[in-house]
């Protein structure tokens, strides 16, 4: 379906934390919306299986990086919303630095213009 190859399993697992934290840093969200957003952002290259998302969210919640609350949406349907905590914002900063370090190293090797950290 997609011309570009899908991400490997290991990369999907490793990138789930910074992706989730970054999405939630932009505002609260719920599982279905998060998956749609990731699909949209990556142009279909990152395809999260729906069942895999919740255990990851719950782990982040146990680690105190995000919090959750059942809330009624505009449609009248109740959903569990997740939002980032202050610890989560700190963790996101670290993640950002680390991912950009990897990114920039690869950019230099591949002779692409790196981004400023």
Partner 1 sequence: MAGRSQLPVQIMENQTRFDLNAAVENWRNELAAQPNLASDDRRELETHLRDAIAGFQQRGLNDEESFWLARRRVGQPHRLRQEYVKSNPSGVWRERFFWAAVILLTIRAWTEISSFVCSLCQGIAVHILYNHHSVSPFLVWLSNSPTSDVELRYLSLLPVVGIMFLLACGKLGQRFFWIQNIFSSRRRFLFVSLPVFLVYFLLVGSALLAYAGYPNPPVAIAELMNLLYPAILIAVIAWFMPMQNRKTPKRA
Among 2, 14, 58, 114, interactor with partner 1 by CB under 8 A: 58
* Residue of 6, 56, 100, 107 that binds partner 1 (CB under 8 A): 56
Q: Which stretches within 26-117 are classed as H helix?
A: 31-41, 50-62, 86-110
**Interacting residues of 25 by C-beta distance below 8 A, sequence separation 6+:** 84, 88, 89, 92
Select from 3, 9, 77, 111 the one that contacts partner 1 (CB under 8 A).
Answer: 77
Region of 15-23, 77-85, 92-100, 102-110 interacting with partner 1 (CB under 8 A): 77-85
How crowded is the C-beta side of 45, counted as CA atoms within 13 Å? 10
Query: Quick check: 71 binds partner 1 (CB under 8 A)?
Result: no
Neighbouring residues of 31: CB distance < 8 A, sequence distance ≥ 6: 50, 53, 54, 57, 80, 82
- Choosing from 2, 11, 32, 64, the residue that interacts with partner 1 (CB under 8 A) is 32
Question: For binding to partner 1 (CB under 8 A), which residues are involved?
Answer: 30-32, 36, 49-52, 54-56, 58-59, 77-80
């Amino acid at each position: 379906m997609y011309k570009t190859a899908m991400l490997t399993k290991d990369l999907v697992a490793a990138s789930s934390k910074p992706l989730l934290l970054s999405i939630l840093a932009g505002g609260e969200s719920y599982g279905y919306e998060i998956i749609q957003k990731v699909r949209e952002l990556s142009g279909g290259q990152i395809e999260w299986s729906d069942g895999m998302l919740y255990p990851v969210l719950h782990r982040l919640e146990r680690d105190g990086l995000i919090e959750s609350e059942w809330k009624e949406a505009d449609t009248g349907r109740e959903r569990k919303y997740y939002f980032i905590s202050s610890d989560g914002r700190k963790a996101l900063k670290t993640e950002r630095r680390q991912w950009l370090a990897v990114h920039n190293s690869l950019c230099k090797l591949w002779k692409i213009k790196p981004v400023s950290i």
